[in-house]
Amino acid sequence: MKHDAGPGGKAKSPAGPRRRVSGCGLAAPSYVARVQPFPRFLLAVCLALGLAAAARAAEPIYKIGDTFAAFSAKDQHDKPYTYEGGARLVIVSFEMGAGKAANAFFEKQPADFLAQQRAVFISNIYGMPGVGRFFALPKMKGYPHRIILADAEGFLARYPAKEDQLTVLSLDDKGVIIGIRHVNPKKEMASIFAAAK
């Protein structure tokens, strides 16, 4: 193929001007796009999230004699909540059915019932699809009692679970776990608080 001659009689390349690639003596077209590096701050965020999830997964399941750890989450009204001690009961719902039964019981009690009992109620919503959240969250907001939402991967990894039942941790005044029970929320809710007296 014939190329037009430029100044000095040299033929022009149809590919445009070329630049020399360092270290190999070859010329590469100047229009070759450079590969943009992955942003460092995004890499750092991904690494931090991965390490946090791995750390949670590596923590052992709670057992009698363990000290209950502080945690932060949000309640059903999207208000921040930080637990730093003081509870004698931690009640955990892992499944929607158990959570509904527990809420039905708490709804019939005075609004400050959980606070008076020094109890914390945690309900798992992690992995709930958008349609489920659309209906479940407004319902939760209507309850007079406070519901702490477990909405992060691994948040409940340390809590021993049993299908269709609530997990109840009993704590002493120092926050040490002195009892672990699994309770049928349709039949045994009152027994949770009777046993703690």
Contact present, 141 and 77 (Cβ < 8 Å): yes
| Separation of alpha carbons 189 and 161, rounded Å | 17
Q: Tell me the two tokens of residue 135.
A: 């209906």
Q: Tell me the two tokens of residue 31.
A: 């229009």
Its pTM stands at 0.70
What's the confidence (pLDDT) of residue 127? 83
Collapsing DSSP to helix, strand or coil, 95 comes out as: coil
pLDDT cut 70: percent of the chain above it: 69
Question: What are the counts of helices (DSSP H) followed by strands (DSSP E) for the chain?
Answer: 5, 9
What's the confidence (pLDDT) of residue 171? 98
Q: Tell me the two tokens of residue 66.
A: 């363990």
What's the confidence (pLDDT) of residue 59? 83
Reply yes or no on whether the pLDDT at 143 is more than 70.
Answer: yes
What's the confidence (pLDDT) of residue 108? 96
What's the confidence (pLDDT) of residue 136? 84
User: Which of 15-19, 24-28, 29-33, 99-103 is the least confident region?
Assistant: 29-33
Q: Which CATH class is domain 62-195?
A: alpha beta
Average pLDDT, the chain: 82
